[in-house]
């Protein structure tokens, strides 16, 4: 648990520094990496939602469901 929290804190600080640096220079062209990251985040969200929906439909049609998985 401690390792997971340390991982999130460490990389979260790096991401926060990058985001703050990009926001300072937003009008000079740093909007491009922010826009790309938002597009990638949207794609990952849609992919995750579709995967969950596909799994849900597959499990509802499956005759033998795995209990607890």
Per-residue pLDDT of the chain (69 residues; tens, 9 = 90+): 889 999 999 999 999 999 899 889 988 988 998 899 999 999 999 999 999 999 888 888 766 656 555
Task: Output the pLDDT for position 66.
Answer: 61
pLDDT at 68: 56
- Model pLDDT, residue 45: 97
- Read off the DSSP letter of residue 64: S
* Listed residue (35, 39, 8) closest to 23, CA to CA: 35
First to last CA, the chain: 22
- Name the residue ranges covered by the structural domains of the chain: 2-61
């Amino acid at each position: 648990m401690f390792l997971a929290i340390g991982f999130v804190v460490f990389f979260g600080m790096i991401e926060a520094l990058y985001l703050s640096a990009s926001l300072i220079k937003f009008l000079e062209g740093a909007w491009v990496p922010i826009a790309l990251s938002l597009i990638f985040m949207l794609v990952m969200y849609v992919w995750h939602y579709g995967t969950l929906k596909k799994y849900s439909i597959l499990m509802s049609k499956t005759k033998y469901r795995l209990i607890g998985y």
